[in-house]
Amino acid sequence: MIDVNRQGEVWVFAEQHNGKLEDTPLELMSKARRLADTLGVKLAAVLLGSDIKDLTIKLIQFGADKVYVVKHPLLQSYQTNSYAKVMLDLIHKHKPQIVLYGATVTGRDLAPRIASAAKAGLTADCTDLQIGDHKTAKDKKLHKNLLFQIRPAFGGNIIATIINLDRWPQMATVREGVMPMPEPDVTRQGEIVTENITITPEDLPLEILAEHKRPKKVDLKAARIIVAGGAGVGSRENFKLIWDLANCLGAAPAASRAAVDLGFIDRDHQVGQTGTTVRPSLYIAVGISGAIQHQAGMSQSQKIVAINNDPNAPIFQVAHYKIIGDLNGIVPKMIKTIKEKSIKEEMAINPVEALRLSNEVKV
Amino acid sequence: MGYNCVVLVKQVPDTKRISGKVMNDDGTVNRSALPAIFNPEDLNAIETALQIKDKFTGRLVVISMGPPSAAAILRESLFRGADETILISDPGCAASDTLATSYILSCAVKKLDYDIVLCGRQAIDGDTAQVGPQLAEKLGITQISYVEELTELVGRTITVRRNIGNGWQQVKASLPVLLTVTSDANEPRVAAAKKMMKYKNALTPIEAEQKIKSENPQANSSEVKKLVERKCGELKEKGLLIKHWNLNDISADMTWCGQSGSPTKVHRIQSVVLAAKQSKEIQPTDEGIADMIHELIEDKTIA
């Protein structure tokens, strides 16, 4: 634990594996940049690893003023102990006021180990971060410029704002996909600070025997349009409707947890509290009742179309377009309409073809 | 030889089956709207421990920190095959965040003889996944989180496969270790009927006292005390006593427990109110759907 340090920097743990940065710390940079600006302090990325040469520039382009680099052959692969040891050494040396981690498997494995050793606070899976003031109820003392760590709890039914008054650093992990990725600024300049920390084989209690990367079958976060099916779709066979609609829209197929649990589609496609958080231009929810856990992962979509035969389905509360009725009738109609529209559009693009057709009509 | 396993479990509100209002008007959580259940992934942790016990023998101790009512999940643990159960319940535990909770649990686990400590990956009320790793740090042992398969246990060496988000990794470590177990690890066995018959009468001393009081409404406090002592003695003899430890029993330093031991505080809690958006009802007819698609193309939502 470190004392309250108003001059302390804002830190982001720059998670990388095999020389490639994860998305989440990069997504975090724009928010962390704003926090640092509000507090009038520097934003630093903390980069640990072995083969990490090109990553410092990238972190600066994404908003860091400074990058602390700890390069060591024994840091090649992530291990809880070695990474926690390095982070703790750096925290005690530089006394940052805020340390943020992506809520990836690695972030969620590492941050609590650090928090426990530092006897500092940690809030998991934040969906937003702000700077604000807090008055303690007992002594009416005003604590200015604290990190508001905002997260859903009780399965998404409540939103809690958590603070850490005086057992700093203020630490949080931040959910994947809830913050938009900033645009890199290639002209940005920053400082690179190389740190030497002793690491011995005793700091590596694990032997990594094998590792298998499984590329995600679908990138929901990058999709502009998402077509998601729920338990209401009825079967894995009938889920073809979702794939078909997604195909004709160039959309990504997705699902509620219920549909995934029923085996209609692979877990990579799951949207919601325990799946991926998405914010596409268009989200079409088919046969999804819209439990609060599902809404937590998609309510930020710009336009939402909901199809459900239950007029009281909660999904309708967040929908811009509600269609009450049988999805087995409605989805094929949508596919047909979209296909017709896209044929007309093609004609518009191809004037010769369009002319020929219109001539035929004249004849 | 065999392996001694300690499993940490939590009774949680069933956040997926919420009836009525989740929040009281004063901003506190309305627990009565939330039925209490065994945290799902803690059952996977117990199952992993039972498989170790089945194969290698050893002792399985299940610990839960919570209110006296958490005895229910300890009974369930006995139904499944736990050898011993311990409830950590003390007013000083109230308002503990994950750091204080892991400190309290570490004080309890340190009193036991263990080779492998197991937790569910996370609890469904907070979804933090923090207590497991924090407990491992407090015990000063190796942690392996997100375990989806126990591959091999040979002598003092354990090999597991863990989920790393976009794939898996197989790791080997020397005991003692703490594992956090995911729902992919196994299918938790159902309670055994024979064990259920035996352990349905298992009680904590608090429950025994409540029972004695309701059966002997006339008894004065010294008589009750005597009866409770006798009852607990009987229960213990039959292996039906769920141990109760308070913070004193586990030599916990109060400054690291409850409110004072918790660096994180709640600034504000808000109920999630789903604001009805400006919405349009579309008729499920050809025309209705065509109009909607047209609108979405017009405003460039569909490219």
d(CA B93, CA B103): 10
In this model, does residue A215 exceed pLDDT 80?
A: no
C-beta separation of A121 from B267 below 8 A: no
d(CA B139, CA B128): 19
- What separation in angstroms does the CA of A185 have from each of A57, A65, A75, A177, A340? 10, 12, 29, 21, 42
pLDDT score, position B279:
83
- E strand or H helix at A276, and its extent? none
Apex B147 CA angle, A216 and B60, nearest 5: 160
Apex A93 CA angle, A87 and A98, nearest 5: 65
Q: If you count DSSP H runs as helices and E runs as strands, how many of each does chain B have, helices first?
A: 8, 13
Of B105, B23, B84, the closest CA to residue A116 belongs to B105
Q: What is the mean pLDDT of chain A?
A: 91
Taking only residues 15 to 34 of chain A, the set having a beta carbon closer than 8 angstroms to any beta carbon of chain B reads none
How do residues B178-216 score in pLDDT, each as one tens digit?
A: 999 999 999 999 999 999 999 999 999 999 999 999 999
| Predicted TM-score of the model (pTM) | 0.86
Q: Which two tokens stand for residue A180?
A: 């938009």
In this model, does residue A70 exceed pLDDT 60?
A: yes
pLDDT score, position A344:
62
Taking only residues 48 to 77 of chain A, the set having a beta carbon closer than 8 angstroms to any beta carbon of chain B reads none
Distance from CA of A153 to the nearest CA of B (A): 5
Mean pLDDT by 10 residues, chain B (303 residues): 95 75 62 84 98 97 96 98 97 96 98 98 93 98 98 97 94 98 96 95 96 93 94 96 98 97 93 69 92 90 83
Q: Return the CATH number at A254.
A: 3.40.50.1220
Q: Which two tokens stand for residue A74?
A: 């024994």
Q: Return the CATH number at A79.
A: 3.40.50.620
How do residues B20-33 score in pLDDT, each as one tens digit?
A: 566 666 555 666 66
Between A155 and A139, the higher pLDDT residue: A139
In a domain, A362, yes or no: no
In a domain, A215, yes or no: no
Q: Which residue of B has its CA nearest to A291?
A: B16
Confidence of residue A347 (pLDDT cuts 50, 70, 90): low
Domain holding A272, by residue range, is 220-349
In a domain, A359, yes or no: no
C-beta separation of A96 from A9 below 8 A: yes
In a domain, A355, yes or no: no
Cβ distance B274 to A314 less than 8 Å, yes or no, reads yes
Distance from CA of A304 to the nearest CA of B (A): 9
A106 touching chain B per CB within 8 A: yes
Same domain, A157 and A18: yes
Disruptive mutation site among A21, A116, A294 for chain B (greatest number of B CBs within 10 Å): A116
In chain B, residues with a C-beta closer than 8 Å to the C-beta of A213 are 166-167
C-beta separation of B45 from B96 below 8 A: no
pLDDT score, position B21:
65
User: Of A203, A230, A245, which marks where a domain is finished?
Assistant: A203
pLDDT score, position B213:
94
- Say whether A323 sits in a helix, a strand or coil: strand
Cβ distance A299 to B274 less than 8 Å, yes or no, reads yes
Same domain, A89 and A234: no
Q: What is the mean pLDDT of residues A46-58?
A: 94
- DSSP per position, A26-89: HHHHHHHHHHHHHHT--EEEEEEESS-TTHHHHHHHTT-SEEEEEE-GGGSS--HHHHHHHHHH
Cβ distance A134 to B267 less than 8 Å, yes or no, reads yes
Place of tokens 């180990």: A113
How do residues A233-276 score in pLDDT, each as one tens digit?
A: 999 999 999 999 999 898 999 999 999 999 999 988 999 987 88
Domain B5-202+242-256, CATH homologous superfamily name and number? HUPs (3.40.50.620)
Query: How would you classify the pairing of strands A321-324 and B280-282?
Result: parallel
d(CA A348, CA A247): 22
Same domain, A288 and A193: no
Q: Which residue of B has its CA nearest to A328?
A: B284
Q: Which residue of A has its CA nearest to B31?
A: A154
Q: What is the mean pLDDT of residues A91-106?
A: 97
Q: Which two tokens stand for residue A159?
A: 């939103």
A319 touching chain B per CB within 8 A: yes
In this model, does residue A298 exceed pLDDT 60?
A: yes
Confidence of residue A361 (pLDDT cuts 50, 70, 90): very low
Cβ distance B134 to A321 less than 8 Å, yes or no, reads no
Of A105, A209, A204, the closest CA to residue B152 belongs to A209
Distance from CA of B290 to the nearest CA of A (A): 6
pLDDT score, position B29:
63
Cβ distance B277 to A119 less than 8 Å, yes or no, reads no
C-beta separation of B205 from B178 below 8 A: no
pLDDT score, position A192:
97
Q: How many domains are contained in chain A? A: 2
Q: Which two tokens stand for residue A67?
A: 């990058």
Give the percent of chain A with pLDDT over 90: 76
Distance from CA of B139 to the nearest CA of A (A): 11
A204 touching chain B per CB within 8 A: no
Give the percent of chain A with pLDDT over 70: 94
A135 touching chain B per CB within 8 A: no
Which of A315-320's residues contact partners 24+ apart within 8 Å by CB, and which partners?
Answer: A315/A285, A315/A288, A315/A289, A315/A290, A316/A290, A316/B279, A317/A290, A317/B274, A317/B276, A317/B277, A318/A290, A318/B274, A318/B277, A319/A285, A319/B277, A319/B279, A320/B277, A320/B278, A320/B279, A320/B280
User: Of A160, A177, A203, which marks where a domain is finished?
Assistant: A203
pLDDT score, position B23:
63
Q: What ipTM was predicted for this assembly?
A: 0.91
Q: Which residue of A has its CA nearest to B272?
A: A158
Q: What sign results for the dihedral spanned by CA atoms A107, A111, A113, A114?
A: positive
Cβ distance A158 to B272 less than 8 Å, yes or no, reads yes
How many pairs of residues across A and B have Cβ atoms under 8 Å apart? 240
Distance from CA of B204 to the nearest CA of A (A): 28
Out of A64-68, A96-100, A217-221, B201-205, which region has the weakest mean confidence (pLDDT)?
Answer: A217-221
In this model, does residue A355 exceed pLDDT 60?
A: no
In a domain, A89, yes or no: yes
Q: Which residue of B has its CA nearest to A206?
A: B173
User: Of A203, A234, A256, which marks where a domain is finished?
Assistant: A203
Among the partner-chain residues A124, A161, A317, the one whose CB lies closest to the CB of B268 is A161
Same domain, A260 and A167: no
In chain B, residues with a C-beta closer than 8 Å to the C-beta of A280 are none
Cβ distance B137 to A116 less than 8 Å, yes or no, reads yes
pLDDT score, position A363:
37
Disruptive mutation site among A18, A97, A105, A300 for chain B (greatest number of B CBs within 10 Å): A105
Q: Which residue of A has its CA nearest to B137?
A: A113
